[in-house]
Amino acid sequence: MRRRALKCGFAVVAAVAAMSLASPAQAMPTSDIGPRAGMKKGAWQGTSTNWDRTFNYGKVTFTVGRGVITDFTIEGVSISGCGNYMNIFVPELTVKGRDITGTYQPIPDVGVFITVAARFAGGKVRGTFTQGPDCRGSGRFTASPA
């Protein structure tokens, strides 16, 4: 009895798949879809805060391409150890599934690293960033398509 139900289910799935392939008008447009997670290609923008969300930093901007995020920028992050405020910039982040990660060393052979970790869900990107250890700054950010 169980085998018959599985065969019937497979036949229905195969028929639906064949019908969707036969009708190109119903195919999903792939020009709007970004990396595997379903992120829209193009410009994104958002906001950033410190860890406990008591202070707002500047805006977050980046561009989503095919499997990568480029020109990730957070404006006006308060930095301890190297001055008052600076912009965080990472030229490229990788996208694997719904996870977005990247580490960038702005000046080679200097002990400053910028690390970004985020996740795409519900049409938005939410994540964290840290800069350190010499010039320390960190916080959270959210972004959505511009």
Structural domain includes residue 17: no
The model's pTM is: 0.71
Per-residue pLDDT tens over the stretch 21-75: 444 444 444 333 344 457 899 999 999 999 999 999 999 999 999 889 999 999 9
pLDDT score, position 98: 93
Structural domain for 124, as ranges: 42-145
What is the average pLDDT score of the chain?
79
CB 24 within 8 A of CB 107: no
Residue 130, beta-bridge partner list: 115, 138
Tracing tokens 């800069």 back to the chain, one arrives at 131
CATH number of the domain at 105, please. Answer: 2.40.128.120
- For residues 139 and 131, what is the distance between their CA atoms, to the nearest angstrom? 9
**Cα→Cα distances 77→100, 102, 132, 133, 145, Å:** 20, 18, 13, 15, 22
**What total number of domains does the chain contain?**
1
pLDDT score, position 23: 42
> Is the model's pLDDT at 107 over the cut of 80?
yes
pLDDT score, position 66: 85
